[in-house]
Amino acid sequence: MRFIKESLSILFLGAMMASCETQMIEPIDLENLEQGGYIRTISPLSGTSAVRNFNVSKANMAGTKMEIVAEAVTPDKGALFASYDLVVKFVDLTPANGNKSTTDAALKSIPASAFTKDATTGYPRGTIAVTGAEALAATKVAAADVSVGDRFDITGTMKLTNGKSFTASNTGANITGGDFYASPFAYRLIVVQ
């Protein structure tokens, strides 16, 4: 009986080993893997991870602004970076004076030449600033129609030299939704006193 059990065990193990077959699969072709880019917010890291919030003063639209230090990240240390294009829309959240909300309007394009290589990271860095007056001019909203509590929503598009472009809509949640990558492609100017 013992001999039969041992024979069956050996036969069973042999059958299991024979049924396991390793197939060689092609490795990932990293050279031709589709890759993009993003604008990383270095400072300040204010607001939620989905939108960076900044305040602009109704009393001083020309003197108050959103200002960030940004880094252009691509797989080749920013060599593919062409520009960061911003659009803005006014969101009227104070219905007492009517609804003056607008659709997206071109705000500004920051070329790669406005960025310089950072000595620590090797990626191009630059300062991006938008004053309340610039947002007003782009949206064609009259200063008298802006109230405390209203806001300007700014969205960015990173354009590459190969013709590709990246926004929050075609970028993964790992890039747009966390403070490490800090690339929401969205900024908000909240009108304060």
Per-residue model confidence as pLDDT tens digits over 79-96: 999 999 999 999 999 988
Question: Domain of 161: which CATH number?
Answer: 2.60.40.10
Distance, in Å, from the CA atom of 155 to the CA atom of 153, rounded to the nearest integer, reads: 7
pLDDT at 68 over 70: yes
Tell me whether residue 135 is in a domain. Answer: yes
User: What average pLDDT score do residues 93-119 get?
Assistant: 95
More confident residue, 140 or 7: 140
Percent with pLDDT over 70 in the chain = 83
Q: Quick one: pLDDT at residue 52?
A: 82
Distance, in Å, from the CA atom of 150 to the CA atom of 95, rounded to the nearest integer, reads: 10
Contact 65, 108 (CB under 8 A): no
Tell me whether residue 148 is in a domain. Answer: yes
Tell me whether residue 142 is in a domain. Answer: yes
Per-residue model confidence as pLDDT tens digits over 38-64: 999 888 865 445 678 899 999 999 999
Measured at the alpha carbon of residue 167, what is the angle toward residues 161 and 169, in degrees to the nearest 5? 140
Contact 60, 148 (CB under 8 A): no
Q: Quick one: pLDDT at residue 29?
A: 61
Structural domain containing residue 166: 34-192
Contacts of 185 (CB under 8 A, 6+ apart): 38, 39, 155, 156, 157, 158, 166, 167, 168, 171, 176
Instruction: With cut-offs at 50, 70 and 90, classify the pLDDT of residue 36.
Output: confident
Tell me whether residue 111 is in a domain. Answer: yes
Residues of 51-68 as b/e, b for ≥16 C-beta within 10 angstroms? bbebbbebeebeebbbeb
Q: Quick one: pLDDT at residue 44?
A: 84
- Of 96-110, 132-146, 176-190, give the lowest mean pLDDT range: 176-190
Tell me whether residue 121 is in a domain. Answer: yes
Give the total number of structural domains in the chain: 1
Closest by Cα among 32, 130, 140 to 84: 130
Tell me whether residue 1 is in a domain. Answer: no
Q: 116: which strand partners?
A: 125
Residues of 3-28 as b/e, b for ≥16 C-beta within 10 angstroms? eeeeeeeeeeeeeeeeeeeeeeeeee
